[in-house]
Amino acid sequence: MAIYTPPLRDMQFVMHELLNVCADLQAIPAHADIDPDTINAVLEEGGKFATDVLLPLNISGDTESCKLDQATHAVTTPKGFKEAYTQFVEGGWAALACNPAFGGQGLPLVVNQCFYEMMNSANQAWTMYPGLTHGAYAALRAHGTEEQQQTYLHKMTSGEWTGCMCLTEPHCGTDLGLMRSKAEPLADGSYQITGTKIFISAGEHDMAPNIIHLVLARLPDAPPGIKGVSLFIVPKFLVNADGSLGARNSIFASRLEHKMGIKASATAQMEMEGAIGTLVGQPHKGMQGMFVMMNAARLGVGNQSLGLTEVAFQNALVYAKERHQMRSLSGAKAKGQPADPIIVHPDVRKMLLTAKAYAEGGRALMCYSSMLLEKDHHHPDEQVRKEAGEMLALLTPIVKAFLTDNGWTATSACLQVFGGHGFIKETGMEQLVRDARINMIYEGTNTIQSLDLLGRKVLGNNGATLRKFGKMVAALVAEEGVNEKMAEFITPVAMLGEQMTKFTTEIGFKGFQNPDEVGAAAVDYLRVAGHLVFGYFWARMAQVALRQIAAGSTDPFYTAKLQTARFYFAKLFPETATLMRTARTGCKVLMDTEAALA
Q: What is the pTM of this model?
A: 0.97
pLDDT digits (tens, 9 = 90+) for 309-347: 999 999 999 999 999 999 989 989 889 899 999 999 999
Helix axes 464-480, 382-418, angle to 10 degrees: 80
Name the percent of the chain lying above pLDDT 90. 94
Please give the C-alpha separations between residue 365 and each of 110, 321, 401, in angstroms, as whole numbers. Answer: 11, 29, 13
Give a yes or no: residue 21 inside a domain.
no
306/439 Cα distance (integer angstroms): 10
Give the model's pLDDT for residue 1.
67
pLDDT digits (tens, 9 = 90+) for 7-25: 999 999 999 999 999 999 9
pLDDT digits (tens, 9 = 90+) for 354-363: 999 999 999 9
DSSP tag of 210: -
Helix axes 346-378, 556-567, angle to 10 degrees: 100
Paired strand residues for 267: 201
pLDDT digits (tens, 9 = 90+) for 482-503: 899 999 999 999 999 999 999 9
Give the model's pLDDT for residue 211.
98
* Contact assessment for residue 200 and residue 245, using Cβ atoms and an 8 Å cutoff: no
3-state secondary structure 285-323: CHHHHHHHHHHHHHHHHHHHHHHHHHHHHHHHHHHHHHC
Is a pLDDT exceeding 90 seen at residue 431? yes
464/591 Cα distance (integer angstroms): 30
Give the model's pLDDT for residue 291.
79
Taking all residues of the chain, what is their mean pLDDT, rounded to a whole number? Answer: 96
Which structural domain, as residue segments, surrounds residue 541? 446-598
Catalytic residue flag (residue 443): yes
Give a yes or no: residue 125 inside a domain.
no
Catalytic, out of 117, 360, 443, 517? 443
Sign of the Cα pseudo-torsion (459, 465, 467, 473, in order): negative
Give a yes or no: residue 545 inside a domain.
yes
Q: What is the average per-residue pLDDT within 18-37?
A: 97
When mean pLDDT is compared across 173-187, 198-212, 474-488, the lowest value belongs to 173-187
Alpha helices (H) in 5-57, listed in sequence order: 8-12, 21-25, 36-49
* Contact assessment for residue 533 and residue 365, using Cβ atoms and an 8 Å cutoff: yes
79/65 Cα distance (integer angstroms): 9
* Contact assessment for residue 203 and residue 255, using Cβ atoms and an 8 Å cutoff: no
488/543 Cα distance (integer angstroms): 11
550/376 Cα distance (integer angstroms): 36
When mean pLDDT is compared across 246-250, 286-290, 412-416, 508-512, the lowest value belongs to 286-290
DSSP tag of 103: T
* Contact assessment for residue 535 and residue 574, using Cβ atoms and an 8 Å cutoff: no
Angular region, 231: left φ>0, alpha ψ -120 to 50, beta rest: beta
488/285 Cα distance (integer angstroms): 50
Amino acid at 507: I
Is a pLDDT exceeding 80 seen at residue 174? no
Give the model's pLDDT for residue 297.
87
Give the model's pLDDT for residue 180.
92
pLDDT digits (tens, 9 = 90+) for 499-532: 999 999 999 999 999 999 999 999 999 999 999 9
* Contact assessment for residue 365 and residue 537, using Cβ atoms and an 8 Å cutoff: yes
Give the model's pLDDT for residue 365.
98
Give the model's pLDDT for residue 77.
98
Give the model's pLDDT for residue 560.
98
Is a pLDDT exceeding 90 seen at residue 111? yes
Report the candidate in 504, 499, 503, 491 with the shortest Cα–Cα distance to residue 535: 491
Is a pLDDT exceeding 80 seen at residue 596? yes
431/426 Cα distance (integer angstroms): 10
318/161 Cα distance (integer angstroms): 39
Give a yes or no: residue 12 inside a domain.
no
220/218 Cα distance (integer angstroms): 7
Is a pLDDT exceeding 80 seen at residue 304? yes
Give a yes or no: residue 314 inside a domain.
no
Give a yes or no: residue 116 inside a domain.
no
Amino acid at 496: L
Sign of the Cα pseudo-torsion (236, 238, 243, 244, in order): negative
Tell me how many domains the chain contains: 1
The number of CA neighbours under 13 Å toward the Cβ of 351 is 24
Amino acid at 545: A
Give a yes or no: residue 518 inside a domain.
yes
The number of CA neighbours under 13 Å toward the Cβ of 439 is 34
3-state secondary structure of 341: strand
Q: What is the average per-residue pLDDT within 578-589?
A: 97
Report the candidate in 130, 114, 118, 111 with the shortest Cα–Cα distance to residue 55: 118
Q: What confidence tier does 440 reach under pLDDT thresholds 50, 70, 90?
A: very high
- DSSP assignment of 346-381: HHHHHHHHHHHHHHHHHHHHHHHHHHHHHHHHH-S-
Q: What is the average per-residue pLDDT within 281-295?
A: 86
* Host H or E run for residue 232: strand 230-235
* Contact assessment for residue 458 and residue 449, using Cβ atoms and an 8 Å cutoff: no
Give a yes or no: residue 540 inside a domain.
yes
